[in-house]
């Protein structure tokens, strides 16, 4: 049974993560335009949040972006590690999420066969 009283217990955890989340800088960005949502962006974002919670990767930030004009490759998910190139993955399904997080977010190894775009870090 969930109740607002749970927030009391959550507060300390959220507070201690606050600083960590500001400093870490690793970001996962999901395209939430209409065609993104129609292609499953909500499920992909939910899968990302679940996987980060499961692995206690609470220092990774999840963000959304609107349409970037690659509608046929939705769902689009970008991984941006500090100091590294911004990698865009395309046609992402919820079941791809754990692979992307384990390989790229955690270990820095790009999942090459799913990459649809790359922006070099200047």
Rounded Cα distance, 61 and 121, in Å? 18
Find which of ligand ATP, ligand FES, another protein, none residue 83 binds, CB within 5 to 8 Å per kind: none
70 binds ligand ATP per the rule CB under 6 A:
no
Rounded Cα distance, 122 and 107, in Å? 22
Find which of another protein, ligand FES, ligand ATP, none residue 62 binds, CB within 5 to 8 Å per kind: another protein
Backbone angles phi, psi at 10, to 5 degrees: -70, -30
Shortest distance (Å) from residue 20 CB to another protein: 11
Q: Which of residues 71-100 bind ligand ATP (CB under 6 A)?
A: none
Site for ligand FES, rule CB under 6 A: 31, 33-36, 67-71, 74
Q: What is the 3-state secondary structure (H, E, C) of 79-107?
A: EECCCCCEEEECCCCHHHHHHHHHHHHHC
Tell the residue number behind the tokens 């992307």, with chain if given: 100
Rounded Cα distance, 41 and 5, in Å? 31
Give residues in contact with another protein (CB under 8 A).
Answer: 1-4, 6-8, 10-11, 13-15, 17-18, 21, 30, 32-35, 37-38, 42-43, 45-46, 49-50, 52-53, 57-58, 61-64, 66-69, 71
Interface residues toward ligand ATP, by CB under 6 A: 33-34, 67
């Amino acid at each position: 049974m969930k109740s607002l009283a749970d927030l009391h217990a959550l507060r300390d955890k959220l507070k201690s993560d606050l600083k960590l989340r500001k400093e870490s800088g690793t970001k996962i960005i999901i395209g939430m335009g209409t065609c993104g949502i129609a292609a499953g962006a909500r499920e992909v974002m939910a899968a990302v949040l679940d996987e980060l919670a499961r692995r206690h990767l609470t220092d990774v930030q999840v963000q959304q972006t609107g349409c970037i004009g690659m509608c046929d490759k939705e769902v689009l998910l970008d991984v941006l590690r500090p100091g590294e190139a911004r990698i865009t993955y395309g046609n992402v399904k919820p079941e791809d999420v754990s692979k992307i997080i384990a390989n790229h977010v955690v270990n820095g190894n790009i999942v090459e066969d799913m990459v649809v775009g790359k922006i070099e870090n200047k």
